[in-house]
């Protein structure tokens, strides 16, 4: 029930950097990123600089359990493991981006330096 309501809201209100006002140059596409903003376990205490292509959709692992960091490998789907879901996003321009590996960033999926705290 809540899932359908979220899907309708998502299609009616696309989440963009201007609305979220946080991760610059990133277009977050998964409504789960805001509805379920739980933070996962740190995969590594660092940022992970990755080459990303404009227009391509990526799924950033927010649970910290994926073995293909910083991207989701579906591990979060294992029953009872976590309630955290991946953050689907695109970038506005092709380039190198510092994706968060500590999973504590407030600018998901981009590192905001929290791993240094």
Binding mask 14-33 for ligand FES (x = CB under 6 A): --------------------
Question: Is 73 one of the binding residues for ligand FES (CB under 6 A)?
Answer: yes
Least distance (Å) between residue 39 CB and ligand FES: 11
Distance separating alpha carbons of residues 1 and 67, to the nearest angstrom: 32
Question: Is 75 one of the binding residues for ligand FES (CB under 6 A)?
Answer: yes
- Provide the strand spans (E) within 13-94: 26-28, 47-52, 58-60, 87-91
- Residue of 27, 52, 65, 102 interacting with ligand FES (CB under 6 A): 65
Question: Is 76 one of the binding residues for ligand FES (CB under 6 A)?
Answer: yes
- Residue of 63, 91, 100, 111 interacting with ligand FES (CB under 6 A): 63
Decide: 21 and 105 in contact? Cβ < 8 Å.
Answer: no
Question: Is 109 one of the binding residues for ligand FES (CB under 6 A)?
Answer: no
Distance separating alpha carbons of residues 100 and 107, to the nearest angstrom: 9
Angle at 5 between CA 4 and CA 8, to 5 degrees: 85
3-state SS class at 84: coil
Positions that interact with ligand FES (CB under 6 A): 61-63, 65-66, 72-76, 84, 86
């Amino acid at each position: 029930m809540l899932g359908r309501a979220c899907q309708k809201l998502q299609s009616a209100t696309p989440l963009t950097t201007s609305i979220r006002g946080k991760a610059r140059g990133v277009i977050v596409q998964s409504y789960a990123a805001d509805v379920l903003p739980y933070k996962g376990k740190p995969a590594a205490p660092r940022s992970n600089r990755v080459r990303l292509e404009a227009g391509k959709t990526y799924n950033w692992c927010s649970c910290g359990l994926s073995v293909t960091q910083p991207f989701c490998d579906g591990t979060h789907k294992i029953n009872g493991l976590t309630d955290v879901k991946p953050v689907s996003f695109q970038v506005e321009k092709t380039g190198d981006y510092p994706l968060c590996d500590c999973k504590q960033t407030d600018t998901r999926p981009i590192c905001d330096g929290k791993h240094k705290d």
